[in-house]
Amino acid sequence: MIIAAGGGRRIGGPEALLHQGEKPLVNRMIDTMTEAGCARIVVVLGAAADQVRETADLTRATVVVNRAWGTGVGSSIRAGLAALDDDAIEAVVVVPVDMPGLTAAAVRRVAALPYPDALVCATYDGLRGYPMLFGRRHWSGIATLASADVGARPYLLAHKDQIVDIACDRVADGSRIDSPELMALYGLTVPPQRVGV
């Protein structure tokens, strides 16, 4: 699941509109998830959803639009989990779109425990980050506790003894783009936005 719904106040536009060169970052993330072997990809859009659909190739993904994107990432996680209606799916890997240093190797490491009772977090220098894997047995609890800008954190804190940490520092960059300086460092731009969703 790629969370790409935020308005991007700190970077000057919606994260889903970020481009690295000519290619939308959401397409790079879909490529990364596909290369990692993810069987089904859900992209949760929100801010500028129509413009993202026009500029990005989302044909390899199930697209969910979170109309409540302004309430924070918690509502996007709930929307994405609700879209995973196939009972054969036992776990979901979750990544934010604003993570250009993510690699298929990091996704594969986290996805190596695709069990219904698994909770897995990538770590970078000992700190938890993305990708994360949520086993199906945790989805209901995550959806219930997911809130505002902290997403699944309340659930993860309540179940911290169940989390498996997987070091990914040597295979990926866990940085998230939250400033114009980081955008410049990674060669990212946000095209002009139209008014509307």
> Would you say residue 194 lies in a domain?
no
User: Residue 147 has what pLDDT?
Assistant: 78
Edge-to-edge strands, sheet with 62-65:
62-65, 42-45, 2-4, 91-96, 127-135, 119-124, 163-167
Question: Residue 66 in contact with residue 75, Cβ under 8 Å?
Answer: yes
User: Collapsing DSSP states into helix, strand and coil, what is residue 22?
Assistant: coil
Domain that holds residue 54: 2-189
Q: What is the pLDDT of residue 12?
A: 85
Report the pLDDT value the prediction gives residue 190, as an integer from 0 to 100.
86
User: Using CA atoms, how far apart are residues 148 and 129, in angstroms rounded to an integer?
Assistant: 17
What's the pLDDT at 2?
98
Q: What pLDDT is stored for residue 42 in this prediction? A: 98
- Assigned domain for 38 exists: yes
The pLDDT of residue 10: 86
- The pLDDT value recorded for residue 49 is 96
CATH of the domain at 184: 3.90.550.10
**Total domain count, the chain:** 1
The answer to the question of residue 52 being in a domain is: yes
- 195 in any annotated domain: no
In Å, what is the CA distance from 154 to each residue of 1, 18, 28, 124, 151?
19, 28, 29, 20, 8
> What local confidence, expressed as pLDDT, does residue 150 receive?
84
Judge whether 161 lies within some domain: yes
Residue 197 included in any domain: no
Q: Specify the amino acid at residue 197.
A: V
Position 195 scores a pLDDT of: 53
List the chain pLDDT tens, one digit each, 197 residues.
999 999 988 898 899 999 998 899 999 999 999 999 999 999 999 999 999 999 999 999 999 999 999 999 999 999 999 999 888 999 999 999 999 999 999 999 999 999 999 999 999 999 999 999 999 999 999 999 987 778 899 999 999 999 999 999 999 999 999 999 999 999 999 888 765 54
